[in-house]
Chains A and B, each alone.
Chain A
Amino acid sequence: MIPDPNSLYGPLDPAPDAGYEDAPPRMGFFTDTSVCIGCKACEVACKEWNGVPQSGLDLLGMSYDNTGALTANSWRHVAFIEQPRPAADVLGEPADTGAGPQFLGMPGAQPPGRASGAEGRSDFRWLMMSDVCKHCTHAACLDVCPTGSLFRTEFGTVVVQEDICNGCGYCISACPYGVIDQRKGDGRAWKCTLCYDRLGAGMTPACAQACPTESIQYGPVDELRERAAARVETLRERGVPEARLYGHDPTDGVGGDGAFFLLLDEPEVYGLPPDPVVTTRDLPKMWKRAGLAALAMAAATVAAFVGGSS
């Protein structure tokens, strides 16, 4: 089989590219944060089904988020973002406009939406979003895995096999989203499997099954992309111009995500990288350069010997 020219970058259907013949359609998640109610049923269902251990009993003070991040022990993570009240307040004091620091065109200290997001809004906003492994079309974690523990499934998803992982940790630095993580006291890498065991039995992943408002939708990625585009359109018609998709585009830096999102603000507001790129994108170029360098070295060595003998 001739490898797809987009094997490492660009639009691609990952399962056939990984060698599956007659692969089923690529399956994934579309997470519509506009209907997320922050109930965390996804986090609990994931832990229950997959036997994921406790991730700590700490009050983080990050609104209602006491999970903090996607880690080896949290494969779903609901982020809560409180965006401030508009300046005019009930105390009847004039809004703070004149005095104070002047805007000098410098980048803000806070992420977009946190400090300036109140403009154009009349109300306080509380955003909620259930984050998960993106199951990238071009998954750097998988590319760098030396043991073959990480593999591409027939559904186009990316799964770690815990009995093969040797805990080298290469995948952790490779992930452009910071999703995959090493478990303390265990050493191996863990992340969302998109419930590979349930998919094989024709079942819906635990998180999507538990979601009461269909914020997490599971299905063939092609269908989900159509549904997502229609939802953005509807929201914009209803006066939510800030609705946008994230990770849906097959031409983006990771070839599109198998798990993508509808957001109501900039990705950074939710703690997502604005323009993720598969870290192995430049691998061929790098190898080419390394090869060239090696050749040049070899040539120089030969030249030196040749020169020396003359």
Chain B
Amino acid sequence: MFRFAVRSVRPVARLPVASRFVQPIRSYAVAPITKDEVIKRSFEALKTVAALQESEISLESSFQKDLALDSLDTVEALVALEEEFDLEIPDKISDEIKTVGEAVNYIFEEEQKL
């Protein structure tokens, strides 16, 4: 029993040493997700929407006014975000989301709840 415990401790003790050489790229998977991470992944997800491939996206940009999305494109953008973060934005809330920043805020809040 005791031996077993010792053995199992060792690799854990070694891990931080290794991670000094190799930067853990996926630190967010353990630590709660940061706002910057949400923003970065949101922008990446939005770039997969055909209508946004050439657009300059910022937190302030409004989907319909600044990014010139029609109602279909806006739905497409929101679904892309849903899929990226594996969550569902209810219709009531998605109706109120007008800018990228608002979407990011909603996602960030939801991620904190997990």
A binds B: no
B residues lining the A interface (CB < 8 Å): none
